[in-house]
Structure 1
Amino acid sequence: MTEIYILGGAQTDFARNYMRSNKEIFDMFAEVVEDGLAATGLEPSEIEVGHVGNFVADLFTGQGQIGGFFGHVHPDFIGMPSGRHEAACASGSIAALSAMADIEAGRYGLACVVGLEYMRNVPGDKAAEYLGAAAWIGHEGAGVRYLWPSMFSRIAEEYNSRYGLKREHLRRISEINFANAKNNPLAQTRGWNFTDDSFGEDNTANPVIEGWMRKSDCGQVTDGAAVVFLANREVAEAYAKKRNLALEDLPRIKGWGHTSAQLQLEDKFRYGEPGGYMFPTIRKAITDAYRRAGISSPDQLDAIELHDCFSMTEYMLIEHFGLANPGEAWKVIEAGDIAMGGRIPINPSGGLIGLGHPVGATGVRILLDAYRQVTGTAGDYQVEGAKNIGTFNVGGSGTTSVSFVVGRD
């Protein structure tokens, strides 16, 4: 692999409602880019290309052509090549992969990768309708109120029929992620209060959203943005030297994996391995990242930041990361392996359930949190001594899968 370094970045406060602050999607974009430049000490004139991950700003705000925002942030961005990438919840990761490809091709040495979504300006039913664009319209999801909770409830049903599934294990995943979010000063739910009933089966305290999925099982509808700056070795060396750092102090993307599957969930089930991994394309994205990074076992990772749009997503991914055999994720949950201080903590940031899920931003935010962990700058949610972090970002019901391994040499 061509060496690609992460120089740093920034994230907005995911608890913020931009519409209530009379702010537009551009304000969110400008804020995170300016904060990222300040955090890294980079100048706009140094950035050679911009890539933006966004899912459905066209529906939530009526705004397309988001790459054009760069020139409004600073005049030095005028003339810089830029573009927008869409792959549902994996849009941010596709933007990152596209920036990597630019760097690998030798076109540019320093890229700005922004992910953002403006989602809290419409009622919940309308938001659910817009987000349904990631399914196969007219072919699945007809007649359900909340499409994505219904789809991941269907995954839980299918998993239960194959291997067995207990609600207590889904509950534990949610409890861990909400607890981790309490330590993250940018988490949407950091100030929320919970009781045991918040995670139980009391329909008032923890209502059923669709099927298996209760309120505590669901990621959040979130306004937010994140940015990272990716660089080739030459740029990274100059950046490090200017700041009296060793090149080895800068994290790099050691490995990546990217796969696509069919849009329709039921077709994915038929493609799955009997008695094996439910989603072979997800498993391949992760193992491709392992292979490129020289990782032979998940035990070589210090933590994982993954896409827990629902508790069931994380449950399934525990197995696809290789932490447990198919059908045995419950073992590592009961052992405490995924909690902070465990064998391989999952979502120290709080994940999508605790931190929040601004759809197009999530893939970039996950990369940023991997950067924070391996540079020891994650604050109160730092995993001690972290050197290698695995990530996973999914679009739709497993249609787009992207995995990274981020670490220092």
Structure 2
Amino acid sequence: MASEPIYLLGGHQSDFCRNVYRDGGTIADLFIDTVRDGLTSTQLNAGDIDVGHVGNFVSALFTGQGHLGGFFGHVDPAMANMPASSHEAACASGSMAMMAAMANLESGRYGIACVLGVEVMRNIDGAQAADNLRPAAWRDKEWQDTPYVWPCAFDGMIELYQQRHGLNKQHLNAISQQNFANAKLNPNAQSRQWQFNDHSFTDNDQHNPRIIGNIRRQDCGQITDGAAVVFLATESRARDYAKARGISLDSIPKIKGWGHINAPMLFSEKLKASQPGGLLLPHVQQLFQQTLARAKLANLDSIDGLEVHDCFNITQYMVIDHTGLYPPGEAWKAIENGDTIAGGQLPINMSGGLIGAGHPVGATGIRMALDCYKQVTDSAGGYQIDGARNMMTFNLGGSTTTCASLIIGR
């Protein structure tokens, strides 16, 4: 039986350039301020919200604070007894909070949900931060001989592409260069004021230092403090919202499709499903197909842009490879043909993505959804895709262990 559609009323994103603890704040302050700003931007009252969901990965390790759903009660007295829960799935935590909120609304239990993603990660040194992020892999079995688990893991993905299909590092550099360029147009991007030179996207050890193996500084998504919030509504509550504001229901975006796949934790186990010369991670393509099918779309021709999980540039390359735009191993054609830039066939990460805009882990899936909302409501400002009607997210946790996707459109 078809469920009532879920509408996205809007939301708010914090400035990802901000260092919360250096500014004298805490994760609680970031949580409370972001929800309050989201209520203001959507012209919702705290009493309108029936349920809250929080996406977060490692607050207890980075800040010593867990049980984050309790902070809704400090946003406004009207939220003091509101039901709330938190969700963890590594870098896909925000998307899991979105999925849980959607299910709540589809069940008929609630009418409007507040979904917040939040992470503070810049309050400790890099070595401790890297160790805190280790549990997104199988801690006792994978990448145990390195202090830098994720650069090591995705360096391995580069090696696999080189072995199976051949890979020109210049194509990866082009992804990073484009995402940093897009971020300069995003007023909330962490790197919007960063400066680069002719050597920044090369194998120059001074201007683009090596982290490990093939991974260099500009290949990486950014450790970031940040939060993003969206408000989801059932059709009946969205209709009331529209009527009260004198707008049409059709002007409010809705979630047209969704996908959620979990693969085995071990990366070596995931690879058992791949075929030599074929797709590296077939479950990633399965997620695209699943999401499009739920939106009743035949292929990506109806999608105007993607917000994808570029924790490293090779991750974005891998995602492109699994979209079906080109045969397996030929994602480089999308880069050389300009398919993924503004005005191209399928613009990707116009926000700057994780590389340019920043990656507060628990907030990323929700930030992606909010940027898709901005695109389809023509409110993305300098990074607007002309005429965007349908946008798609791709959010992953771990080594593609948890994969989630949304199609948001009007």
Q: Given the two structures, how large is their TM-score scaled by the length of structure 2?
A: 0.98
Which residue of 2 is the match for residue 114 of structure 1? 116
The residue that corresponds to 1:287 in the other structure is 289
Q: Give, as a single letter, the amino acid of the residue that structure 2 aligns with 1:334.
A: E
TM-aligned CA deviation for residue 298 of structure 1: 1.1
Q: Match for 1:234: what amino acid?
A: S
Structure 1 unaligned residues grouped into runs of 5+? none
**d(CA) in 2 for partners of 1:120, 1:266:** 31
Deviates more, 1:86-95 or 1:141-150: 141-150
CA distance in structure 2 between the aligned counterparts of 1:324 and 1:318, rounded to whole angstroms: 9
SS at match of 1:401: strand
Tell me, in whole angstroms, the C-alpha distance in 2 between the residues paired with 1:323 and 1:21. Answer: 44
Alignment RMSD, CA only? 0.8
Report whether the alignment pairs 1:366 with 2:368: yes
Question: Which residue type is aligned with residue 269 of structure 2?
Answer: D
Amino acid at match of 2:282: P
Counterpart of 2:100 in structure 1: which amino acid?
Answer: S
Give the aligned partner of residue 137 of structure 1. Answer: 139
Structure 2 CA distance for aligned equivalents of residues 92 and 322 of structure 1: 26
The one-letter amino acid paired with 2:378 is G
- Output one character per residue of 1:50-83: Cα deviation in whole Å (capped at 9) or x when no partner: 0000000010011111000000111110111000
Does the 8 A contact of 1:286 with 1:402 survive in 2?
no
Q: CA deviation at 1:145?
A: 2.4
Cα distance in 2 for partners of 1:206, 1:385 equals 36
Cα distance in 1 for partners of 2:326, 2:359 equals 26
1:299 positional shift:
1.8
Correspondence for 1:255 among 232, 254, 257: 257
Cα distance in 2 for residues equivalent to 1:35 and 1:155: 39
State the Cα distance separating 1:323 from its structure 2 match: 2.1
Structure 2 gaps of 5+ residues are none
Match of 2:310 among 308, 311, 335: 308
Provide Cα deviations, 1:65-118, integer angstroms capped at 9, x if missing partner. Answer: 100000011111011100000000000000000000001111111000000100
Q: Which runs of 4+ in 1 moved over 3 A?
A: none
Question: 1: distance between equivalents of 2:245 and 2:187?
Answer: 27
Alignment-derived partner of residue 242 in structure 1: 244
Structure 1 partner of 2:211:
209
Tell me the percent identity.
53
Name the structure 1 match of 2:56. 54
Supply the distance in 2 between the matched residues of 1:19 and 1:398 (Cα, whole angstroms).
31
Contact 1:128 1:146 in 2 (8 A): yes
The residue matched to 1:276 in structure 2 has which SS? coil
Residue of structure 1 equivalent to 2:382: 380
Q: 1:26 maps to which residue? A: 28
Residue 36 of structure 1 aligns with an amino acid whose one-letter code is G
Residue 15 of structure 1 corresponds to which residue in structure 2? 17
Number of the residue aligned with 1:346: 348
SS of residue matched to 1:169: helix
Distance across 1 between alignment mates of 2:124 and 2:61 = 10
Distance 1:257 1:274 in 2: 26
**What's 1:151 paired with?**
153
Secondary structure of 1:133's aligned partner: helix
In 2, are the aligned partners of 1:257 and 1:284 still within 8 Å (CA)? no
Residue number among 367, 389, 401 corresponding to 2:403 in the alignment = 401
**What is the alpha-carbon distance in structure 2 between the residues aligned to residue 334 and residue 233 of structure 1?**
42
The equivalent residue for 2:194 is 192
Output the CA distance in 2 between the equivalents of 1:116 and 1:323.
33
Counterpart CA distance in 2 for 1:264 and 1:405 is 28
2:71 maps to 69
Determine if the alignment matches structure 1 residue 327 to structure 2 residue 329.
yes
- Residues of 1 paired with 2:19 and 2:89: CA distance? 24
Q: How far has the Cα of 1:195 moved from its partner?
A: 0.8
